[in-house]
Amino acid sequence: MENEVLLERFEQLAHEQNFRELKDFLDDQLITDIAELIYEVPEQAALIINQLTLGRAAAAFRILEFPTQEDIIRDLPAHKIAELLNELPPDDRTAFLEELPSQAVTELIKLLNPEERKITLALLGYPENSVGRIMTPDYIAAKSHWTVAKVLNHIRMYGRDSETIDVIYIIDNQGKLLDDFRIREFLLVSPDTLVESLMDHRFVSLHVNDEQEEAVQVFRLENRVALPVLDDAGVMLGIVTIDDMLWILNEEHTEDIQKIGGTEALDEPYLDMPLLRLVQKRVGWLIILFIGEMLTASVMAYFEDEIAKAVVLAMFIPLIISSGGNSGSQASTLIIQAMALGELTIKDWWRVMRREIISGVLLGSALGIIGFIRILIWNSFFHTYGDHTVLIGLTLGVSLIGVVLWGTLSGSMLPLILKKAGADPASSSAPFVATLVDVTGLLIYFSVAYIFLKGILL
C-alpha cells in the first residue's frame, strides 16, 4: 500500500513538473523505497536520481542492479555523472566500472577528479575477483604514540569520510599495520591512555591478491565488520567491509545455484539477458548431458538379449535410473554447499567417503525394502511377476542398494575431485551427476539381475 501511494505521488509531481516539491518528497523517503520506485518506473530512473541530493543519489545508485545503473548513467547529463561517480565509495564505483566495456570505462574515468581517478585506476589494476578490487582506501588510521583523546579527536575530524569508524587501525610511519581496535576499546578507557599501552599486535588481515571467496570465509570465522587489506610488505592499502562480503556471497551463491542446475553462470539478470546469449549459456551443458544419456541407450542395447528374455526387467529401469540420480544429486548438493560454507575441505575426503558409504547403504536398503515389498504386494493382487516374484524382488532390492550407494559416492566425490583439479565444484551439477549414475546404474542393475536370474529367466 505504501509503495502504491509513493508511486502515485511521484507520478503526480513528475507530471506537473513540480521539481522543487518532487526533490523534497524524494529526499524524505527511505533509500530502499527510492530503489523500489526506480524499479517500478525504470523510464524515470534518471529523473529520480537527478532530483535527489548527491549523497542520497549515490546511496540509492549503489544498491541498484547493474543494468539499471547502466541505464541511469546513459540518461544522466555529463556533469551529474561526474558528481555521482565522484560521490560513490571507491569499491562500489570499481564494481560498477568493471562491468562496463573498456571504452565506456575510459570515458567515465575522465570525469573523476584526480584523487578519485587515482584510487579507481589502482583498484581496477588488481586481478578480477581479488580482494583488491573491492577494498576501499577510506578508513581511520592512528599512530601508536597518540593518546586515546587524540584518536577520538581524529575520528571526529575525518570519520565522516571513512567507510566505517567501528574499527581503528594503528600504523607506523611507513604505513605498516601494527594493530587494530574496535572503537569501544577507546571509549572505555581514560582519554590520557597511550595507544601503545593497549596494543597486543594481534590482528586479522587480508592480502590484496586474496580471492574474494577466501575473504568471505575469514569474515565468517572472525566475526568482523571490517578487515584490513595489506600488501606483501605489510603496508595497509585499505579495508574490506561486511556489506561488500554480503554482495559477493549473494553473487557466488547465485552462480553456484545456476551451475548446479546444469547451466553456465549468468552474468546479468535473467530477464535482461538477450535470448541468444541465454541459449548459449544453456546449450553447452545440454549437449554434454545428451551425449551422456546416449551412453544409457548403448548400455540398454548391450543388454538387449537379457531384456528380450525377461521383459519384466525393463519395467524397473526408470525406477533404478531415478533412484541413483536422485541420491547422487542429493549428495552433490550437500557437499557443494558444505564446501562453499567452509565446513569441509579436500583433506576431509576420507571422512566424507566413509559417511556416504554408510549413508548410501542405509538409504539404498530403505528403498530396496520398499521396492521388494511393493513387488510382493502387487503380485498378490495382479500376478504380474509369475513364479519368480521373490527373485525379481531381490533383484530390484539389491540393485537399489548398489545404485544408491554408487550415486551417493559419485555425488559426494566429484565436487572434491574437481576442487583438487582446480575447477569449480559447482560444475559437478546435479544433471551431470544424474547422467553419470544413469549409465553406471544400468550396469549395476543388469549385473545383479544376471546373478539372481541366470538359468531362470536369463
Torsion over CA: 382, 388, 390, 391 (sign): negative
pLDDT in tens, 263-283: 666 666 666 777 787 778 777
Is pLDDT of 1 > 50?
no
Residue 60 confidence (pLDDT) = 92
Is pLDDT of 178 > 60?
yes
- Output the nine-digit C-alpha cell for 113: 577528479
Contact predicate 335/411, CB 8 Å: yes
Burial class (CB in 10 A: 0-12, 13-18, 19+), 158: middle
User: What is the mean pLDDT of the segment spanning 200-228?
Assistant: 87
The Cα–Cα gap between 3 and 130 comes to 38
Domain at 141-245, CATH homologous superfamily: CBS-domain (3.10.580.10)
Domain at 270-453, CATH homologous superfamily: SLC41 divalent cation transporters, integral membrane domain (1.10.357.20)
The residue written with cell numbers 580471492 in the block is: 211
Residue 48 confidence (pLDDT) = 92
Contact predicate 7/29, CB 8 Å: no
User: What is the mean pLDDT of the segment spanning 391-400?
Assistant: 92
User: What is the mean pLDDT of the segment spanning 60-75?
Assistant: 90
Strand (E) or helix (H) holding 316 = none
Q: Which CATH number fits domain 2-125: 1.20.1630.10, 3.40.50.1970, 1.10.8.100, 1.25.60.10?
A: 1.25.60.10
Q: Confidence band (pLDDT; 50, 70, 90) for 367?
A: very high
The Cα–Cα gap between 430 and 352 comes to 18
Instruction: Please enumerate in sequence order all residues whose Cβ is within 8 A of that of 453, keeping only pairs 6 or more positions apart, or say none.
Output: 310, 388, 391, 392, 395
pLDDT in tens, 424-455: 777 656 677 877 888 888 889 988 988 888 87
User: What is the mean pLDDT of the segment spanning 337-361?
Assistant: 88
Is pLDDT of 25 > 60?
yes
Q: Give alpha helix (H) positions in 231-348.
A: 242-260, 275-302, 304-309, 317-340
CATH 3.10.580.10 range(s) for the chain read 141-245
The residue written with cell numbers 537399489 in the block is: 400
- Output the nine-digit C-alpha cell for 253: 551463491
CA 315 to chain centre: 41
For the sheet containing 141-142, what is the strand order? 141-142, 167-171, 177-182
The Cα–Cα gap between 39 and 17 comes to 21
pLDDT in tens, 307-334: 776 778 888 888 888 898 889 888 888 8
Is pLDDT of 21 > 80?
yes
User: What is the mean pLDDT of the segment spanning 93-108?
Assistant: 83
User: What is the mean pLDDT of the segment spanning 380-398?
Assistant: 83
Closest Cα partner for 244 from 267, 227, 258? 227
pLDDT in tens, 230-245: 988 899 988 998 888 8
- Output the nine-digit C-alpha cell for 325: 540420480
The Cα–Cα gap between 273 and 264 comes to 13
Whether the model pTM is above 0.75: no
Closest Cα partner for 126 from 163, 105, 98, 103? 98
CATH 1.10.357.20 range(s) for the chain read 270-453
